[in-house]
Amino acid sequence: AQSVTQLDSQVPVFEEAPVELRCNYSSSVSVYLFWYVQYPNQGLQLLLKYLSGSTLVESINGFEAEFNKSQTSFHLRKPSVHISDTAEYFCAVSEKSSGDKLTFGTGTRLAVRP
C-alpha cells in the first residue's frame, strides 16, 4: 500500500525568499503524484501533478516539483514566495494499479511573512 510523508508540518518563510516543501512516498509500483493547495476556509485545489513524461512539472503560479524515482520524492519548490502563497499544501500519491485511490500526506502549512 502507498503512503506519503510530509516531514514539515509548518514552514515559515519571508516574502520573496525561496521555499521547498518536502514530500516522500512509499510504493512498490508505479505512481501518480500530486500537490494540492488549500487556502483558509476553502476546498482543495490541484496545484500540479506528475502522471508521466518529464519529471519536472510546473504550475501556473510559479511552483514546480520534480519527481525523483530513486529517492521516492516529489518536493515542491518556489524561487520567490508571495504573501498570497500562505496556505496548507498537501502531497498525494495514487498507485496506477489501485484505481486512482489517493493517499494524502498530513500537510505542510506555508506561512509567508512580510
Q: By the criterion CB under 8 A, which residues form the site for another protein?
A: 32, 34, 43-44, 46, 49, 51, 90, 94, 96, 99-107
CB of 43 to another protein, least distance (A): 5
For the bound state, the minimum distance from the C-beta of residue 20 to another protein, rounded and expressed in Å, comes to 20
Given the complex with another protein, which of 49 and 77 has the nearer CB atom?
Answer: 49
In the block, cell 493547495 appears at: 37
Closest to another protein by CB, 38 vs 73, is: 38
